[in-house]
Structure 1
């Protein structure tokens, strides 16, 4: 079931169910495009019809963050839990390890995807991986596409930042069985950025921890109160 949050339809899958859907797509050799939709992306889509159509046409749209979970509940169509990009990929790695899936890490500054892939491989040696940074121009993109196609990934993790990664995945559906936009997850996987302690994650305050650690993000966080107001207005008029 999908729920409507400001015109974006969100799947109500739990993390376990989302992983199962991705596993099924790989085993059945089906294409699956995954969007992890956070409040910023949802809010942006209100004034960007192309982005809204792109998200809604994805095969799996997960609630990325407690803000989306709150919005769905407020609108009377609750989802089971948040399914963020970083949590989703970390839930996929044990399965990928067992099944020896091929995962391509694309994104981040030069060296970050490589470091992330190596850190993941230390814990999950069954994963076959490839990587490339996300700082490529149009000419370099030709070689990059050839590299990915040659690698034949089961999963393509794209960390180009939203919404660029969503556009890129939609434009290149032939590259992998499953493509997932993962934002800045590679920084966390590489150990460059620390995630909030588990207790803070459980309290749903990871966004506040990130703001404290990265105060430059405050401009992005100003979207949140506007997102809340729009959700409350949707509640009133529906």
Structure 2
């Protein structure tokens, strides 16, 4: 279990999503995030050693579908292969499944464009060059909010790694995998072809999991309430001030 049966995960995800109002104008990023969430669900479940081939295939297909809405969603294949590497029992054929899934997607996309556009050339329209212009993040309010939230997330992520020895061995792979997924999500944002802050939505899911896991284990009630109030008030201040 990545989190206990609390609503902290939903709360943190909602609070983080509200911080990025630009997502309203970027529905493709929202859709890509949805498919990446579905892929992440299958990736995390790989540790159970049941229906592994199906899970890998499902995750691969979800990531490829997400890439048609946001090309750099392909970074999530790094998370998939990391999950395979840390998996206790794995086979070489597992590493080939994403390649086979990619070939299947290529053939289907080629067939679709050939039928609908009378052309089999679609890859140039799919690939998006990264944009490293971060001027949209230079607004003082945006910088302050991002530094505050990322500071909390980084601290809780380090705490997650620090506390690894207290976690049962069977839960350790996924426990660390979420931190690795957070890094993958950051790379997905960093390579965004259009910087609008909406791309930061990719950080919401792994961040929400890490934050909820941290808060659930806190014995200090006032610190728990402080973190919750920060995530309640920050979106309000960000939007209305």
So what's the TM-score if we normalise by structure 1? 0.28
More strand by share: 1
TM-score after normalising by structure 2: 0.28
**Which one has the bigger helix percentage?**
2
The structure, 1 or 2, with the larger RCO (C-alpha pairs under 8 Å, 6+ apart) is 2
